[in-house]
Structure 1
Amino acid sequence: MQSMKVEDFMHRRPVVFTEDLPIEAAVERLLQSRQRGGPVVDTEQKVIGFLSEQDCLAAMLRDTYHKELSANVSDCMYRGEVLSVFADESITDVAQRMDAKKPKVYPVLDGDTKQLVGVITRTDVLAAIDQYYQDSYRRR
């Protein structure tokens, strides 16, 4: 199972955001993609934050209450260290780090450039492990 790599199961065209994107546009992207959140990147495709459904919900409730619709992603996003994985990491290693307190969506970075190359979700990791077990059962 160590041979199963993140790059084989990640989404290569994830929903990503920039700081200046209006929150309404960010929400529309999330809803259309059914992704639970996504990385916020700078002009060099480096991850500088993360925007979750929860962040969007809080911003939209606040803006509705104050009858304002002026928030941008930069006003709502998480700016701390974003938990990320590398494309060449093993699925098993990533699965061991995904516990209940961790994000459901992880940005996937290129090991050399540290640029965003995709995202991987808990569901993707679960599907990869399931595929491994299904293949193992078939070989018996």
Structure 2
Amino acid sequence: MHSLKVVDYMNRHPVRFAPDMSIEAAVSILLQSSQRGGPVVDKQNKLVGFLSEQDCLATMLRDTYHNEQSATVSDCMYQGEVVTVDANTSVTDLAQQMTANKPKMYPVINTDRQLVGVITRTDILRAIDLHLRDGFTHR
């Protein structure tokens, strides 16, 4: 199962955000997608943060209370060390990592920290399930 790689199961066209995007525009994109958050990238497509529904909710609630609409993605995104994964990582290694860490979605980056996709717990479950089903049909 170590031959299963993240690159084969990741979403190559995830929702992504720019730091200067308004939070209202980001929320609109999230609501139209099936993602619960997404990577924030700069103009060179380098990962600079992560924006979650929770981040948006807190900001929108605060802005509603103060009757403001001026926040940008960079104002409310997570700017710490975003947990990422390499495209050639084994699906089973990532599955083990996911049981210990909380992120539900991992940005997939290359050696230049450029975003190449995202992979979720659902993607990992699907990969393992397909592998197991394939193993049963070949017996």
Q: How far is the alpha carbon of 1:100 from its aligned partner?
A: 6.3
Q: How far is the alpha carbon of 1:135 from its aligned partner?
A: 0.4
Deviations 1:50-81 (A, max 9, x none): 00000000000000111111110011000000
Letter in 2 for 1:130: D
**In the aligned structure 2, how far is the partner of 1:89 from the partner of 1:99?**
16
What pairs up with 1:84-95 in 2 under 5 angstroms? 84-95=84-95
What are structure 1's unaligned runs of at least 5 residues? none
Is 1:66 equivalent to 2:66 in the alignment? yes
**In the aligned structure 1, how far is the partner of 2:80 from the partner of 2:17?**
16
- Secondary structure at the counterpart of residue 131 of structure 1: helix
> Closer, same or farther in 2 for the Cα pair 1:81/1:43, shift >3 Å?
same
Q: How far is the alpha carbon of 1:45 from its aligned partner?
A: 1.1
What pairs up with 1:52-63 in 2 under 5 angstroms? 52-63=52-63
Residue 96 of structure 1: aligned partner: 96
**In the aligned structure 1, how far is the partner of 2:133 from the partner of 2:32?**
31
- Secondary structure at the counterpart of residue 94 of structure 2: helix
**In the aligned structure 1, how far is the partner of 2:116 from the partner of 2:104?**
17
What pairs up with 1:1-140 in 2 under 5 angstroms? 1-99=1-99, 101-110=101-110, 112-140=111-139
In the TM superposition, structure 1's runs of 4+ consecutive aligned residues that sit over 2 Å from their partners are none
Letter in 1 for 2:79: R
**In the aligned structure 1, how far is the partner of 2:51 from the partner of 2:138?**
42
The normalised TM-score by structure 1 is 0.96
Of all paired residues, the percent bearing the same amino acid is: 64
What are structure 2's unaligned runs of at least 5 residues? none
- Secondary structure at the counterpart of residue 13 of structure 1: coil
Question: Number of residues paired by the alignment?
Answer: 139
**In the aligned structure 2, how far is the partner of 1:109 from the partner of 1:89?**
11
**In the aligned structure 2, how far is the partner of 1:90 from the partner of 1:40?**
24
Tell me how large the CA RMSD over aligned residues is.
Answer: 1.0
- Secondary structure at the counterpart of residue 59 of structure 1: helix
Q: How far is the alpha carbon of 1:89 from its aligned partner?
A: 0.8
The normalised TM-score by structure 2 is 0.96
Deviations 1:2-55 (A, max 9, x none): 111101000000011111000011011111111011111111111111000000
